[in-house]
């Protein structure tokens, strides 16, 4: 549409405005619904407001997808989504390459699975309008305490876990998908060097948050969706996404069963912590290989096209 008419820089600005306007609109509407829900604590009314807020999440995803159609020519290929349901509870664990990751997952998983709520850092709660709206919509916020804080105030021990469990339970009042970017931050070369990561394309996965979610929702979760976001051309920046100059994105989905061995006390049980981290490390090794193969395959296609 506009991607064939306007220059990339102009498309990027217009796309950014599009994302910002609909994000603020949906978050503002969620704040209104959230206030109506808590000021009138009658169960049928509260459930109605909860469903309205889930509908807002889905509407936002639709808006993000239309923005891609309107402003970009990016090809997004999704693999492995067969058999998923809007009536099930999922946990998405994904690598994190760009701010575009969130938008891509929302727009491509929309109407395929239950409404997605992102597992967020507690600092984002104070983001005006957006943070407040996410909190009222039931997005789980993780507040972690440092060793120094725990030494100074021992009563804080375990409080982050209890808070996480409570928020995950609240989020699952109706079918829901919780999404966690397990690396905790976006991949950058300097971060990989600082971490001394063993992977070519990924940062080290952080197991704690995922373990807390799985323990909190052990009797609710149906599957783990292991999602790999691949930018085979090498570009993954948010600005490239907005401008539509990302030639291709691949989203690979691997549904994983939840076993009893994956549920335990991550904070206190050392053996479980070691086992769970090893399981996650293995998934990350498979992701890394998957990304590497996709990049090589894309390069081969490009080389073949140039030769012909």
Higher pLDDT, 5 or 108: 108
CATH code, domain with 224? 3.40.1130
Q: Supply the pLDDT for residue 279.
A: 93
Please indicate, yes or no, if residue 38 is contained in any of the structural domains.
no
Mean pLDDT of 162-185: 75
Q: Is residue 53 a part of any domain in this protein?
A: no
Domain interval for residue 106: 75-302
pLDDT in tens, 222-255: 899 999 999 998 878 899 999 988 889 999 999 9
Percent of the chain residues topping a pLDDT of 70 = 85
pLDDT of amino acid 280: 94
Q: What whole-number distance in Å separates Cα of residue 177 and Cα of residue 197?
A: 29
Average pLDDT over residues 103-111: 90
Give the pLDDT of residue 159: 58
* Residue 2, domain member (yes or no): no
Q: What's the mean pLDDT when you consider all of the chain?
A: 84
More confident residue, 145 or 124: 124
| Residue at 113 is within a domain | yes
Q: For 120-135, how does the pLDDT look when each residue is reduced to its tens digit (9 = 90+)?
A: 777 777 777 888 788 7
**Residue 161 confidence (pLDDT) above 80:** no
21 pLDDT band (50/70/90 cuts)? very high
Share of the chain above pLDDT 90, in %: 35
Q: pTM for the full model?
A: 0.85
272 CB contacts (<8 Å, ≥6 apart)? 264, 265, 266
Question: Would you say residue 86 lies in a domain?
Answer: yes
305: pLDDT strictly greater than 70: no
pLDDT at position 230 is 94
Question: How many structural domains comprise the chain?
Answer: 1
Q: Which residue has the higher pLDDT, 146 or 57?
A: 57
Judge contact between 230 and 247, C-beta under 8 A.
Answer: no
Query: Is 27 part of any domain?
Result: no
Q: Is residue 26 part of a domain?
A: no
Residue 296 covered by a domain: yes
pLDDT in tens, 277-287: 999 999 999 99
């Amino acid at each position: 549409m506009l991607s064939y008419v306007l220059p990339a820089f102009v498309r990027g600005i217009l796309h950014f405005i599009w994302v910002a306007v609909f994000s603020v609109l949906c978050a503002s509407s969620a704040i209104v619904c959230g206030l109506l829900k808590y000021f009138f604590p009658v169960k049928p009314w509260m459930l109605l407001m909860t469903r309205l807020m889930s509908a807002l999440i889905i509407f936002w995803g639709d808006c993000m997808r239309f923005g891609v159609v309107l402003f970009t020519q990016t090809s997004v290929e999704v693999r492995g989504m067969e058999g998923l349901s809007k009536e099930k509870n999922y946990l998405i664990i994904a690598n994190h390459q760009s701010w575009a990751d969130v938008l891509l997952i929302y727009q491509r998983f929309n109407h395929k699975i239950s409404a997605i709520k992102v597992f967020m850092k507690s600092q984002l709660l104070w983001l005006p309008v957006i943070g407040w709206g996410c909190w009222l919509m039931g997005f789980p916020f993780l507040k972690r305490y440092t060793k120094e804080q725990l030494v100074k105030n021992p009563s804080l021990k375990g409080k982050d876990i209890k808070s996480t469990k409570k928020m995950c339970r609240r989020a699952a009042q109706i079918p829901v998908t919780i999404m966690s970017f397990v690396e905790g931050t976006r991949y950058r070369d300097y971060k990989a060097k600082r971490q001394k990561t063993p992977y070519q394309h990924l940062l080290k996965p952080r197991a704690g948050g995922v373990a807390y979610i799985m323990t909190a929702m052990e009797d609710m979760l149906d599957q783990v969706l292991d999602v790999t976001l691949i930018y085979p051309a090498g570009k993954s920046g948010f600005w490239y996404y907005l401008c539509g100059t990302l030639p291709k994105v691949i989203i690979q989905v691997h549904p994983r069963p939840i076993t009893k061995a994956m549920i335990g006390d991550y904070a206190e049980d050392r053996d479980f912590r070691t086992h769970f981290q090893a399981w996650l490390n293995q998934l990350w090794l498979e992701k890394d290989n998957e990304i590497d193969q996709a990049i090589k395959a894309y390069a081969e296609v490009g080389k073949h096209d140039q030769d012909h």
